[in-house]
Amino acid sequence: MAQIITDLKDKFKKGNIVIQLIFTNIAVFIVVNLISIILQLFNRSAADIFGLLALPASVERFLLQPWSLITYMFMHADILHILFNMLWLFWFGQLFLYVFSAKHLRGLYLLGGFCGGILYMIAFNIFPYFEPMLYASSMVGASASVLAIVVATAYREPNYQVRLLLFGNIRLKYLALIVVLTDILFLTSNNAGGHIAHIGGALAGLWFAASLKKGTDITKWINKLIDAIASIFDKRTYKRKPKMKVHYGNDRQKDYDYNAKKKVQSEEIDRILDKLKKSGYGSLTNDEKKSLFDASKK
| Statement: residue 269 has pLDDT above 70 | yes
Average confidence score pLDDT of the chain: 87
Q: Among the listed ranges 10-19, 47-56, 58-67, 227-236, which one has the minimum average pLDDT value?
A: 227-236
Distance from the Cα of residue 66 to its chain's centroid: 20
Could you count the other beta carbons within 10 Å of the beta carbon of residue 46? 15
What pLDDT does 271 receive?
79
Higher-confidence position of 242 and 66:
66
Q: How far apart are CA 47 and CA 54, in angstroms?
A: 10
Domain segments of the chain as ranges? 2-229, 249-296
For the entire predicted model, the pTM comes to 0.78
**Topology annotation, domain 2-229:** Rhomboid-like fold (1.20.1540)
Q: How distant, in Å, are the alpha carbons of 137, 208, 297 from that of 272?
A: 48, 22, 16
What is the rounded average pLDDT of the residues 136-149? 96
What pLDDT does 92 receive?
95
Cβ-count burial of 180 within 10 angstroms (0-12 exposed, 13-18 middle, 19+ buried)?
buried
What is the rounded average pLDDT of the residues 7-22? 86
Q: pLDDT, tens digit, for every residue of 155-187? A: 999 999 988 877 788 999 999 999 999 999 999
Q: How distant, in Å, are the alpha carbons of 151, 179, 236, 239, 251 from that of 243?
A: 49, 57, 16, 12, 18
